[in-house]
Amino acid sequence: MMATAVTNTATCKNFIGGNWTDSRATKFLERRNPANTDELVAVVPLSPREDVREAVAAARAAFPAWRDTPAPERGKILFRAVRIMDERKDELARTLTREEGKSLPDALGEVQRGINILEFMAGEARRLGGENYLSELRKNFAYSMKVPLGVVGAITPWNFPFCIPLWKIAPALVAGNTCVLKPAELTPLCALRIAEIFTQAGLPAGALNVVFGAGEEVGDELVQSPHVRAISFTGSTEIGCRIYASGAQRMQKIQCEMGGKNPVVILADADLALAMQSVLFGAFASTGQRCTATSRVIIERSVADKFASMLVERAGAFKVGDGLESGVQMGPSVDETQMNSVLKYIEIGKTEGALILGGHRLTGGAFDKGYFIAPTIFDHVPARARIAQEEIFGPVLSIIRVNDFDEALEAANSCRYGLASSIYTNDASRIFEFIDRIETGITHVNSPTVGGEAHVPFGGIKDTGVGPREVGRTALDFYTELKTVYIDYTGRKRESSLY
């Protein structure tokens, strides 16, 4: 019989060694629906370090057998998980919306992207390999091969609680590693569903383990453990920098995807209606709670008034509410702490730019039970203002007016982050110059800053990311070591060495 996770208002259990296990926790977190705090979604244990050590031990015990399982067999298990997820897509999306808050269409999009990533990576199980090399020596065969690391830790955020765990777990498992997942405390149920589905698909006990708790305990124990060979982290730049520094002391492989402050550059010749629709989606879908969200519009002055007017008209009609309700385009902030952080930045913005839309918490009726903020737009924002430089992670957009392309590019690159960017123009020379000079890991032309595909690398530069890219074939580089092999078939001692 398939192991069944606790759900609804029951206390979540850790998943260790193939079993749902009561945590040793003495402290617990009540997780409520951010759109309706009357609804208790789950009780989450703040697990102690002992629980992490137990999970790491289970992963270590499972590693030899999983490593020795032929890669195509590992891929078959992932393909079975794909089919199960596809059958449960609607249920998974509704679970995601209840605990994270994003609208149901956004949640369905996230679930589908997670399925796509898992499907792609399952196929990579038949393409794991290195290279053959023509040796300088006679009768010598040289080649390389990718080998798994061992136990890897995945520390994931609340804003994409289904997709991001999958894009870490899938390549780790395909490569032959075993995993300990530390999901965000605010979004436990998606992690439980993932563990359920992999178990149902036939993943061996101990290959995937899930431990709930705070970063200060669970996350730190993963980073400090001498038995965890690699850490893949998505979250704030401040925490990511600490993990990177700490991991370096133990020669752990570290991969961090962190903050973003993503610009859309709009030149005077752009299709303003197209740009407006894309900015609207990039800034306010998922309540702006995504690392690739559009947070800066950098626009030539000659078209800025017209664009701002168009954007305010459409954003003002954006439907905000419970993400499970039909027609809702934007849900709440994930919790009160995040909402208050966004409101703090809005107050800062009122001293730095001209507020032209929103700028307040939504109240009255059902809004009083959730953490809702109106779509907010500031105009005439200086490029170096705090709201144009610091990650807000909410539905707040800054419009920065510039004189020309060079000033726009300078403003876009003035930020410490370098994740995603976009340019709207019909000038081919400007497009390619922008691609050459923009300091981001991802750039889009005449399309939003958000979005990505299952087979295409994802990640940023500068203070946004460190380590190999996630998603696509390059994801496997992080979860493997390259072993080089020389086979001498002369049958005799060589007279000289090349080394």
Summarised one tens digit per residue, pLDDT across range 407-417 is 999 999 999 99
pLDDT of 6: 42
Cβ atoms of residues 379 and 308 within 8 Å? yes
Which residue among 163, 179, 291, 415 is the active-site one?
Answer: 291
Give me the domains of the chain, ranges plus CATH numbers.
14-258+464-484 (3.40.605.10), 262-445 (3.40.309.10)
Q: Tell me, yes or no, if 241 is annotated catalytic.
A: no
Check residue 203 and report its DSSP letter: P
| Between 110 and 496, residue with greater pLDDT | 110
Tokens of 426: 């019909």
Lowest mean pLDDT among 245-249, 392-396, 443-447, 473-477: 245-249
How would you class 118 by CB atoms within 10 Å of its CB: exposed for 0-12, middle for 13-18, buried for 19 or more? Answer: buried
d(CA 420, CA 447): 11
Check whether 347 has a pLDDT greater than 70: yes
Residue 2 binned pLDDT confidence (cut-offs 50, 70, 90) = very low
d(CA 81, CA 84): 5
pLDDT of 8: 44
Check residue 198 and report its DSSP letter: H
pLDDT of 498: 55
Tokens of 379: 């105009």
The three-class DSSP label of residue 340 is helix
pLDDT of 494: 75
Q: Tell me, yes or no, if 256 is annotated catalytic.
A: no
Which residue among 221, 257, 300, 352 is the active-site one?
Answer: 257
